[in-house]
Structure 1
Amino acid sequence: MLSLPSLTCSLQPYYKYFTSDMFLVNQNKFSPRTFTFLAHLDTVPLFQQGGHIVTCQDLVRRAAPLMWKDPITLVVALDKAGQSTGTLYLDDGESFDHERGQFLYKTAPMT
């Protein structure tokens, strides 16, 4: 006979990146780490863990200098407490001024 103590269930949200559909994953140390999802051949199954912010530039360009005026999108995935944190780094993309502190580096929480 085997007896295990009661384990608290730690459900954490994950989001399908392209559809924002949320599903909960049990993240205690005894839970399996393999999941099966249906995916078509023309799509990539990409997921974002709740509590994280991903920074994107959605327009595809041939060269970085063409991107400097393009909008930046923040993809916010909330955790089970309704919070998220992310880091953003920006510089001019051309010079070595970042070596002299000419850049923006911000970590920001969102709720």
Structure 2
Amino acid sequence: MYTKQTPIRDVIEDSLFENYGQLLFPVDPGYMNGSTLGDLSLTWYNNINPDKTVEIVQFLHDQKENGYTIFYDIYSEEEKQRDVRKRNTGLFFFPGKEKVPTAIVNAGLRM
């Protein structure tokens, strides 16, 4: 169970998230500050709600624990070997409701 006091490092290293836990947070230095979910701050965002941060990572954890796919790796190992920047790329899946608009959000690949 995650709380606002949970170290971000513990989320990143949670074995349930396999090798993509680091992608839940900015991977490039300088875009994130804080050491716990409660004091997380991000360069491009104001008014981060710590309760919502905890809710989101707990939701993903619970989905994965219940056998759902939450992360889709979009590049093959061969593609990642040719361009190492692609190692920090993929899509997290948040299920929506039927007949409701869908959003796809991509943080992008810095070139």
TM-score range, shorter chain: under 0.3
Calculate the TM-score normalised by the size of structure 2: 0.21
Larger relative strand fraction: 1
Larger relative helix fraction: 2
Q: Which one has a bigger Cα radius of gyration?
A: 1
